[in-house]
């Protein structure tokens, strides 16, 4: 499709010359002697051009006034101002009002072509970014947080309010698998920060020294193998949002550095001496009781108060009554498209089985159960028999009187260790530090075993 260019100049010869030249270059061109007529044209459907070439001095409206009018109407296209040599200062003023660049008259055609090429590339990149952000917003609508229970309605209402408070630090709390990651993305992509980067990191997934480097970046030579400088995620997310999952796993020293950033919006890269300032919104998440962690001196009290400006509590699935069926229906529709299956829904017995289950893994567990059922179901409805809530060959269910650990015979000790660690991760709502203590190993050993057994792919906390 040809790129569209509007030429606005009260001299007919200029309009005719540029039309002839640019049409030969393969553009679709429209010339206007009156900027008011061009503005009227913009009201038509699909009439917005890719670039506007406009004279600075025109009887009805000068270039600055035209730029202000375009801004007021929300027309976001590159505008190149043309001006006589004696009015260069005025053209610079126009650039302060949003003009892409300016050309001196008489216009050098090669210079004009170079500026048009640059403007079109910039506009194309902006349009592509806008399309991506629009798709992301459509992917994470506030209504996408499913459910009609009072708890879920409160979550949606809180996120809707927080979208307009785009500088506020937010803490998402709740058991593993309750949708804290989804809630954070929903908040970002429905806020004014949606046009900028959403970046996330799991604070429990990296040792402290690597986590610090990932968050704050480093300068060349800051440590062994630091051959180049690197931006940290706080810097990458400038203007956007950084989501810190499992904030409770962060060391006390790193907590102090994060607190300093939250107070001043300034930080230094590792090995750096310059204070850098960014406008990054921080969202945090935890499945631990941070108040208890503060009492146990495992989490800084001042940081807790700083990130707990607004606490959005995601309810456990077992507390959401029949919302489990609403979420299940949505997941079935998703898997029907993804797997190419035509499954109408759940039988009455299957619905009751879902309602009776305690869901220690919450929505993540429900998703896994339904995906497995969709793969193996024979009919056009998922039956109670299709729902395998205690996967064979792995571990038994949680029982009211305690936890039954069942494991098939003739398996290796390595298999047993992997299964036991996996089950502990899936059914424990504590931080990785607490889980490591429960298992009787160090946090680093737990991290190593998770990597060795590929448990990060199975247990996405």
Distance CA 79, CA 100 (A): 5
CATH number at residue 378: 1.10.8.60
Asked if 214 and 305 sit in the same domain, the reply is yes
Both 210 and 192 in one domain: the answer is yes
> In percent, how much of the chain has pLDDT > 70?
90
Q: Whole domain around residue 202: which residue ranges?
A: 140-315
**What mean pLDDT comes out for the span 376-402?**
65
Q: Do 306 and 377 share a domain, yes or no?
A: no
361-376 per-position pLDDT tens digit: 899 999 999 999 999 8
pLDDT band at 448 (very low <50, low <70, confident <90, very high): confident
Q: What is the pLDDT of residue 201?
A: 95
Co-location of 147 and 257 in the same domain: yes
CATH number at residue 252: 3.40.50.300
* Beta-strand pair 402-403/310-313: unpaired
Whether residue 324 is predicted with pLDDT greater than 90 in this model: the reply is: yes
- Pair 191, 303 in one domain: yes
Beta strands in 339-458 (DSSP E): 345-346, 381-382, 398-399, 402-403
Task: Provide the domain count of the chain.
Answer: 4
The per-residue DSSP string of 128-158 comes to HHHHHHHHHHHHS-GGGS---SHHHHHHHHH
77, 52 in Cβ contact below 8 A? yes
Let me know whether 207 and 112 are in one domain. no
Structure confidence by residue, pLDDT tens digits, 177-233: 999 999 999 999 999 998 889 999 999 989 888 899 999 998 887 777 777 888 999
Residue 316 gets which letter from DSSP?
A: P
Could you tell me if 232 and 96 lie in one domain? Answer: no
Same domain, 285 and 150: yes
What is residue 75's DSSP assignment?
Answer: -
Pair (276, 184) in one structural domain:
yes
Tens of pLDDT, residues 433-442: 778 877 878 7
| pLDDT band, very low/low/confident/very high, at 398 (cuts 50, 70, 90) | very low
Per cent of the chain over pLDDT 90 is 53
Residue ending a domain, choose from 315, 335, 367: 315
The 3-state secondary structure of 81-111 reads EEEEHHHHHHHHHHHHCCCCEEEEECCCHHH
Bond prior to 448 in cis (omega within 30° of 0): no
pLDDT band for 391, please (50, 70, 90 cuts).
Answer: very low
In this structure, of 22-36, 132-146, 343-357, 387-401, the range with the lowest mean pLDDT score is 387-401
Domain boundary among 355, 389, 423: 389
**Least confident window among 38-42, 136-140, 282-286, 407-411:** 407-411
Q: In the numeric block, which tokens belong to residue 397?
A: 């269910």
Please determine, for residue 51, whether its predicted confidence score (pLDDT) is greater than 70.
Answer: yes
Contact 320, 148 (CB under 8 A): no
Are residues 443 and 415 part of one domain? yes
- Nearest Cα to Cα of residue 332 among 369, 374, 365: 374
Question: What is the per-residue pLDDT across 116-153, written as a single tens digit (0 to 9) for each?
Answer: 999 988 888 777 766 766 666 678 899 999 999 999 99
Question: 4, 47 in Cβ contact below 8 A?
Answer: no
Q: If you average pLDDT over residues 417-429, what whole number do you get? A: 80
pLDDT for the residue 155: 96
Give the global pTM: 0.63
- What is the chain's length? 461
Residue 408 is predicted with a pLDDT of: 58
Mean of the per-residue pLDDT values of the chain? 86
pLDDT the model gives residue 411: 66
**Domain boundary pick from 262, 290, 315:** 315
**Average pLDDT of span 66-75:** 89
**Do 368 and 342 fall into the same domain?**
yes
Confidence tier at 9 by pLDDT (50, 70, 90): very high
CATH of the domain at 102: 3.40.50.2300
Mean pLDDT of 346-368: 91
What pLDDT is recorded for position 401?
32
Same-domain check for residues 285 and 358? no
């Amino acid at each position: 499709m040809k790129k569209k260019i509007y030429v606005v100049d009260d001299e007919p010869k200029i309009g005719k010359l540029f039309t002839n030249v640019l049409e030969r270059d393969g553009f679709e061109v429209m010339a206007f002697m009156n900027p008011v007529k061009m503005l009227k044209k913009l009201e038509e459907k699909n009439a917005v051009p890719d670039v506007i070439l406009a004279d600075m001095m025109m009887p009805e409206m000068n270039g600055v006034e035209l730029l202000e009018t375009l801004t007021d109407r929300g027309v976001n296209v590159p505008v190149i101002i043309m001006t006589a040599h004696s009015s260069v200062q005025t053209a610079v003023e126009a650039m302060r009002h949003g003009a892409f660049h300016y050309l001196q008259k008489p216009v050098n055609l090669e210079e004009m072509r170079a500026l048009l090429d640059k403007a079109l590339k910039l506009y194309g990149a902006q349009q592509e970014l806008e399309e991506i952000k629009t798709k992301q917003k459509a992917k994470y609508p506030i209504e996408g947080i499913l459910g009609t229970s009072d708890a879920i309605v409160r979550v949606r209402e809180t996120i809707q309010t927080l979208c307009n408070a785009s500088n506020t630090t937010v803490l998402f709390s709740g058991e593993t698998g309750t949708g804290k990651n989804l809630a954070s993305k929903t908040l970002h992509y429905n806020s004014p920060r949606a046009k900028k980067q959403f970046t996330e990191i799991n604070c429990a997934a990296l040792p402290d020294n690597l986590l610090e480097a990932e968050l704050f970046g480093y300068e060349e030579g800051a440590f062994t193998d630091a051959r180049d400088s690197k931006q940290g995620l706080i810097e990458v997310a400038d203007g956007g949002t950084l989501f810190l999952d499992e904030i409770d796993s962060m060391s006390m020293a790193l907590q102090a550095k994060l607190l300093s950033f939250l107070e001043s919006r300034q930080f230094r890269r590792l090995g750096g001496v310059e204070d850098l300032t960014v406008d990054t919104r921080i969202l945090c998440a935890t499945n631990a009781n941070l108040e208890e962690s503060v009492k146990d001196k495992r989490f800084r009290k001042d940081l807790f108060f700083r990130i707990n400006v607004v606490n959005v509590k995601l309810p456990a699935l077992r507390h959401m009554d029949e919302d489990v069926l609403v979420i299940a229906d949505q997941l079935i529709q998703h898997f029907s498209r993804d797997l190419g299956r035509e499954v109408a829904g759940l039988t009455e017995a299957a619905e009751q089985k879902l309602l009776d289950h305690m869901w220690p893994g919450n929505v993540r567990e429900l998703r896994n159960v339904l995906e497995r059922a969709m793969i193996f179901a024979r009919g056009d409805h998922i039956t109670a028999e299709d729902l395998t809530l205690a996967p064979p060959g792995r571990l038994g269910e949680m029982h009211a009187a305690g936890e039954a650990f069942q494991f098939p015979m003739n398996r290796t000790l390595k298999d047993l260790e992997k299964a036991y660690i996996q089950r502990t991760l899936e059914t424990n709502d504590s931080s990785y530090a607490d889980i490591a203590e429960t298992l009787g190993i160090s946090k680093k050993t737990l991290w190593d075993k998770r990597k060795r057994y590929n448990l990060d792919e199975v247990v996405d906390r």
